[in-house]
Amino acid sequence: MEFKKLTSSTGAPYFEHEDSQTVGARGPVLLQDFILQENLAHFVRERIPERIVHAKGSGAYGKFTVTHDISKYTKAKLFSKVGNECKMFARFSTVGGEKGSADTERDPRGFALKFYTEDGNWDLVGNNTPVFFIKDAKKFPDFIHTQKRVPKTNLKSATMMWDFWSLNPESLHQVLILMSDRGTPYGYRHMHGFGSHTFSMINAENERVWVKFHFKTKQQIKNFTNDEAVKMKGENPDFAQEDLVNAIENGDFPKWTMYIQVMTEEQAKEFRWNPFDVTKVWFQNEFPLIEVGEMELNEIPNNYFAHVEQSTFSPSNLINGISFSPDRMLQGRLFSYRDAHRYRVGVNSHQLEVNRCPFAVNNYQRDGYMADSSGYKDAPNYYPNSFDQIKPDSAYKNFEYDLDNTTVANFNRNENDDDHYTQPGLLYTKAMNPQDRENLVSNIIGSMKGISGPKKEEIINRQLCHFFRANIELGMKIAMGLQVNIDMNMMNHSKSPE
């Protein structure tokens, strides 16, 4: 077979399709990586006007209350004292389905939160899982394409899903979560939420720590089995929306407790895995949960379209005292999310009620589609000027830091960081009970039976190798369910992390 060169949209051949250009292996992603920019910018413009991902969603307003003091970690005003409150908006969603799809589909769930603070809006845009399928945003368009529809038939395809997963063993951790009963939560009220990425906090002494955000449901975890989810998909495709609306309208306000995990910069250097890898978790016995506050949802918006459909979130919407990390997926999302909303809702989407900061907004952005000039009227549109009173405040200077590496390259995301099996293996053996494991195996077999075509055997065998490497028992049960004869070479190359 004669291979064709991979090229940019203008026909220029390039090599680095999967690894973003960074400063050092664990440094930040560079804006000059034009392939990353081109692929993400094109990807978020593939559909109009529906969201490419997270199209089917539900939303509600509520409040966040600080219950524990974490001011030693962050100078964010919201967390400056116990008892502080702010209004917030939450949007929950499925990921892969269209707007009219069922919200009980097997899928991760978006868990997007907007905190309206006096220092601006803070968006924490996560999922109901602590990990994700891939560790570099450059791979995101390819991954999502496998979760959507085949261009020719316009049908979902188990073949392309498992083909991609089998070729990307970094996805195994999230695949096991997705294929467990956690992949079919009983609505949105009965699931945990996670920031998923590693973020940073900076305190008043300008000291930085790395953090992960957790939201534990107070309604207790409750999931559908696969059969129950399929049944509900036919009976009520809006089950999760109805469940949320009814609970709030009846005064049964859902609540979550917010926690953080904290890792020092010194601990990050010694951590067994890359602490900025979103396919990995930080073990809670090493980095215990620290309670922060409570989130309560108590108001259904009076107009779904105006508030839920037009809501926009971006992980780049951060507040003083909370910042990013060199997590490659996060760094790509800092660009892509805002770009998606500029395209989908408009360059002035931040002026809409659900997205608008209720406190002061002073800048020099003007005009564009649907511009609302009521906030600035005839004020100058340039800086510096001799007429207005807007001045940059040095108290909000960016955190300054040195990088450990000055080499610019497209570092292989898996070089010296290719343990894709230990944590999935522990998820199977330690976090799941026997019924969870039984359901997981059944769900995987049911899904993989949908693989078809001339590459069927190759895809199945490749994926089985990953299961075996995570846990021998897991691999054996799935192979038996698929009626695959086990090759001893596969067994010899597959070692359980236990």
Q: Which residues are catalytic?
A: 54, 127
Q: Residue 30 carries which DSSP code?
A: P
In DSSP terms, 76 is beta-bridged to: none
As a whole number of angstroms, the distance between CA 283 and CA 419 comes to 15
As a whole number of angstroms, the distance between CA 177 and CA 175 comes to 5
Provide φ and ψ at 387, rounded to 5°: -115, -40
Token reading at 374 = 């009521």
Q: Residue 484 carries which DSSP code?
A: P
Q: Residue 421 carries which DSSP code?
A: S
Cα separation values, 339 from 45, 132, 264, 295, 344, Å: 9, 21, 32, 28, 9
Angle ∠(53,57,61) on CA atoms, nearest 5: 130
User: Which of 234, 138, 147 shows the shortest CA–CA distance to 183?
Assistant: 147
Residue 464, CB-side half-sphere exposure with 13 Å CA sphere: 27
Residue 70's identity, in one-letter code, is: I
First to last CA, the chain: 41
Q: What burial class does residue 203 get, using C-beta atoms within 10 Å of its C-beta: 0-12 exposed, 13-18 middle, 19+ buried?
A: middle
Q: Is residue 213 classed as helix, strand or coil in its secondary structure?
A: strand
Residue with tokens 């909303």: 341
Whether 337 has a binding-site annotation, put simply, is: yes
Residue 18's identity, in one-letter code, is: E
CA dihedral in degrees (44, 142, 335, 113; nearest 10)?
Answer: 80
Specify the length of the chain in residues: 498
Residue with tokens 């059944």: 442
Token reading at 417 = 């960081």
User: Which of 112, 117, 13 shows the shortest CA–CA distance to 53?
Assistant: 112
As a whole number of angstroms, the distance between CA 292 and CA 180 comes to 29
As a whole number of angstroms, the distance between CA 362 and CA 98 comes to 37
Quote the radius of gyration of the chain (alpha carbons, Å): 23
What DSSP element (H or E) covers 255? strand 255-263
User: Which residues are annotated binding-site positions?
Assistant: 337
User: Which residues are annotated binding-site positions for heme?
Assistant: 337
